[in-house]
Amino acid sequence: MEELQTDHRGAFSFAVVDASTRDGVKRLQELRPGVGRQIPVPGVMVDGAIVFDHIPDMEEFGEWIEATTGASAVDTSAGDRSAADTDLRRPA
């Protein structure tokens, strides 16, 4: 995730929820009412919506980021690491 975040100019932020801990279980319980169904573990949620019911590989998640935000990966060899103007939030 850190590498994808860098490659996509920080177009997203993320938090890992460890379902094997008390805090992780509590967080999943907090998220569940907004989803309306069991949250898959492992899985990926964005802005309260389940977008993957598995952990995608870097290519799959990178493609999803590009399709969702239009923020394509940057050539980090050029040293371009400016902040992105897009994020993963869907329009209201």
In a domain, 18, yes or no: yes
In a domain, 8, yes or no: yes
**Owning domain of residue 69:** 2-73
Among the listed residues 54, 57, 73, the one whose alpha carbon sits nearest the alpha carbon of residue 65: 73
User: Are the C-beta atoms of residues 3 and 76 closer than 8 Å to each other?
Assistant: no
Judged on CB neighbours under 10 Å (0-12, 13-18, 19+), 68 is middle
Q: What is the pLDDT of residue 21?
A: 95
In a domain, 44, yes or no: yes
Domain count, the chain: 1
Beta bridge mates, 50: 45
Instruction: Compute mean pLDDT per 10 residues along the chain, 92 residues long, and list them.
Output: 73 83 93 88 88 91 84 53 42 40
